[in-house]
Chain A
């Protein structure tokens, strides 16, 4: 079945970086886009960015531009999201989620990865 499996929880100190992975299975990896969405404790959903899994092109939210990098490895069907210069406000659950070509929404979601930034 179609599945997105994310890496485990991370704890980082302010100023450090974190890299979260998302392994896809059950479908043709390069036929979709992948988004990253985060949710701070008790808050709503925040879009972080998108990567074209075929060509690797990216587009990031202005708020985190310059601190975020999304990459993919087509040989392992894995997408990575790296966030640098971490602040306490980056404490959140991070989700990878798939989007197909056309207006079909974000139809498959990873289980989420909790990133805690604390000194």
Chain B
């Protein structure tokens, strides 16, 4: 059972903005540990999308952004495109689990 909770699904029309929340606790996000985000397209492996809460690796468009506040983090996708239809996972570190890395429950983004 994951300690980082995400909504199972979000959807939006092309061009719209969607946000995905990642809710943790005082032993992970709230303790100051960074949050990273991954995109998993259908049938493929995960790809790093955001690192260190709000940094984009080379090649990730600036319409994708991340933020963190308190015990939660968020991923925002503006100008939604068909190619954004995928599963998205947040990831952090948890000090209460003998030093474990943890993933969020995952969110399916559907482009209407």
Residues on A close to B: CB < 8 A?
Answer: 35, 37, 44-47, 50, 59, 61-62, 93, 95, 97, 103-107, 109-112
Contact A109 B46 (CB under 8 A): yes
- Min CB distance B102 to A, Å, is 6
- Considering only residues 76-112 of chain B, those with a C-beta below 8 Å from chain A are 87, 89, 91, 97-106
Contact B48 A47 (CB under 8 A): no
- Min CB distance B2 to A, Å, is 7
Neighbour of A95 across the interface among B36, B46, B97, B106, CB < 8 A = B46
Contact A45 B51 (CB under 8 A): no
Q: How large is the interface on B (under 10, 10 to 19, 20 to 34, 35 or more residues)?
A: 20 to 34
Neighbour of B91 across the interface among A61, A106, A109, CB < 8 A = A106
- Min CB distance A68 to B, Å, is 13
List, in ascending order, chain A residues with CB within 8 A of B102's CB: 47
B45, CB-defined interface residue at 8 Å: yes
Contact A105 B103 (CB under 8 A): no
Neighbour of A62 across the interface among B34, B52, B97, CB < 8 A = B97
List, in ascending order, chain A residues with CB within 8 A of B57's CB: 105, 107
Contact A59 B51 (CB under 8 A): no
- Min CB distance A20 to B, Å, is 14
Please give me the residue from chain A that is nearest to B50 by CB atom: A105
Please give me the residue from chain A that is nearest to B103 by CB atom: A45
Given A47-B103, A62-B100, output 4 extra A-B contacts at Cβ < 8 Å. A62-B98, A103-B51, A105-B48, A105-B91
List, in ascending order, chain B residues with CB within 8 A of A44's CB: 2, 87, 89, 103-106
How distant is the Cα of A53 from the Cα of B28 in the complex, in angstroms?
25
- Min CB distance A114 to B, Å, is 12
Please give me the residue from chain A that is nearest to B102 by CB atom: A47
Contact A105 B89 (CB under 8 A): no
How distant is the Cα of A11 from the Cα of B44 in the complex, in angstroms?
21
B 39-57 to A, binary, CB cutoff 8 A, 1 in contact else 0: 0100001111011100001
List, in ascending order, chain B residues with CB within 8 A of A47's CB: 91, 100-103
Contact B99 A106 (CB under 8 A): no
Contact B45 A95 (CB under 8 A): yes
How distant is the Cα of A104 from the Cα of B98 in the complex, in angstroms?
21
